[in-house]
Structure formats: structure tokens, C-alpha cells
Structure 1
Amino acid sequence: KSEQEQILLWMNNFNFLKDNNLSLIQKEKDLFEKDLKDLREIFKKNAFEIGIWWFSKEKEDLEKRINESLK
């Protein structure tokens, strides 16, 4: 292959990797925003509601998502 073809191939590969990386970053950003919105809803609860929430599946799911995000 000529150097020009090789450079073109590298550029195409780079663009593919860049696009995939940006998609992953956008997905992580969307998940982070969802987690923040869920936390905001928790802050609106009173102590009794937080006590009930503490033992809920909703709390377990949020905790799992946050732990995954922090890995």
C-alpha cells in the first residue's frame, strides 16, 4: 500500500474510534444525569418516606448504578 492509502486508513480508523468514544461518553453522561435526578427526588422526601425508600428496590437499583459508575 502507498503511504497515502495507509494514512487514509489510519484516519478512518481514528474517526471510527473517536465516534465510538464520544457515544460512550454521551451514554455515561446520560446515566450520570439520571442518577442525579433520582438523588434530587430523594431530597424531596420527608424522613418517613426516606425510611421506606431505604429498604426499597429503587434504592438498591440506584446504589448499583452509582457503584457501576464509580468503577
Structure 2
Amino acid sequence: MVALDPIYQNLPREYNCSNCNKTRNSPMCCGHPMHLEEHEKTIKWICWMGSTCGIKDADICDETEIKIYPTVNP
């Protein structure tokens, strides 16, 4: 099993949009919450193991106000 990088150990299970004030639950993949990351110039939900494992469209209003994590597999 791949060791979980410390930056991804305590990912939030919810994200709050500062634009519309809606709370969105993080999708799960491989037993951990997915995180928001830039992928091909758009913000996507990405698995902690990288985009080759799990990727989903992110339904968010204001991308600039949500914490975006560094790329898992650069």
C-alpha cells in the first residue's frame, strides 16, 4: 500500500464556497476524501493517490476562494 503523504492525511471532508456560502462534501476515493487541485486548467476533485486513480468534476462557484492543494503526481 502507498504511504499517505502528510499533506493529504487530514484533508477536509467539506468545502465551503465563500461566494454562495454553500457547503460541499468531498467525494471519497481509496478511503480518503478527494481534494481540489488544478487539472488541465480547471479545478477538479482528485484522489490522494493522483489523477490517474480518481478524478471528478468540481461543482464550485468561486475557485479562487477555496483551498487548492499541490499536484499529487507532478
> TM-score surpassing 0.5?
no
How does the TM-score come out when normalised to structure 2?
Answer: 0.24
The higher relative CO (CA closer than 8 Å, separation ≥ 6) is in 1
Structure whose CA Rg is larger? 1
Greater share of strand = 2
How does the TM-score come out when normalised to structure 1?
Answer: 0.25
Greater share of helix = 1
